Amino acid sequence: MTKTRLLAALIMAPVTIAAILLLDTPWVMALAAVVFLLGLWEWFELAEIEDTLARTVLLVANLALMVAIVWASRSAAGFSYVLFQLASVIGVAWWLIALAWLRVPRFASDHETWARMFKLAAGALAVIPAWCALGWIHATAPNGHLWLFTGLAIVWAADSGAYFVGRKLGRRKLAPNISPNKTVEGLIGGLVAGLAVGLGGALLAGAPVAHLPLVGAVALLATLASVVGDLFESLLKRHAGVKDSGHLIPGHGGILDRIDGVVAALPVFALGKALLGF
């Protein structure tokens, strides 16, 4: 499984990195929208929306909201990212609520309509703000493409660090009622890896050395947010009684299994970067 997981990552990572570094922001956002909406489709399935037509209508509604945000951001004076910034703030607020939800893992765990409604709202609040944060980061001068790469690399490094450290050294369970395989040692490994990659990426993006402590703080917060995103998806899978959100990516599961940490970390990284001015 580790070999398959590594091979899949070696294929996906170069394509993703090339798109971020070489394409203009509108194209990056368009490609990201496809990926995020595929993840949202899997989210609907975890929310037990079994009817394909119903899932399609919900997906189109979320796509329409994305389009509306872009359309409303256009003006004769140019393109404004104010709505993207507002959405990012909403995203950060949502993940704080999600953290509280994780403390009550049985909440919305049944199969009633009201429980599905909570999970559908959670899907929109997770995916759309993350997509807005992605566009906001990439479009920010100077070197927005390098900063977006750094934000994503923090999550990738944290995920890998947690996986390998957890396998080798993991003893104490982090959240046994939600994800029994995650450990405190894995969390520490992920934090160290995310911090190291965040600092290295900041230097690559042109940040002065004086800003590295600020970058480090945001990298740690983004890593912690990615853990919340990962745990929340694990909670949805536990409620649905499935191991993976899908089977599209060999060794990795579904699209949502790969972006669960990203959708939580991007709003935190974007907002932290803007507030601390690096």
The string of pLDDT tens digits covering residues 174-225 is 999 999 889 999 999 999 999 999 999 999 999 999 999 999 999 999 999 9
* Alpha carbon distance 252, 117 (integer Å): 27
- Read off the pLDDT of each residue in 106-128 and give the average, rounded to a whole number: 91
Among the listed residues 219, 234, 229, 30, the one whose alpha carbon sits nearest the alpha carbon of residue 138? 30
Q: What single DSSP character describes residue 108?
A: T
- Residue with the bigger pLDDT between 251 and 148: it is 148
pLDDT, tens only, 225-235: 999 999 999 99
Asked if pLDDT for residue 1 goes beyond 90, the answer is no
Residue 5 confidence class, pLDDT cut points 50, 70, 90? low
201 against 1, higher pLDDT: 201
- Residue 247 pLDDT: 58
> Percent helix, strand, coil in the chain (nearest 5)?
75, 5, 20
The reported pLDDT for the residue numbered 78 is 87
> How far is residue 205's CA from residue 190's CA, in Å, rounded to a whole number?
22
Mean pLDDT over 24-48 rounds to 95
Q: What is the pLDDT of residue 9?
A: 63
Output the average pLDDT for the chain.
92
Question: DSSP assignment, residue 229?
Answer: H
Residue of 103 and 12 predicted with greater confidence: 103
> Can you tell me the mean pLDDT for 97-112?
90
Q: In 3D, which of 231, 229, 230, 256 has the Cα closest to residue 245?
A: 256
Do strands 179-183 and 173-175 pair parallel, antiparallel, or not at all (unpaired)? antiparallel
Helices (H), 23-143: 25-46, 52-72, 82-102, 113-139
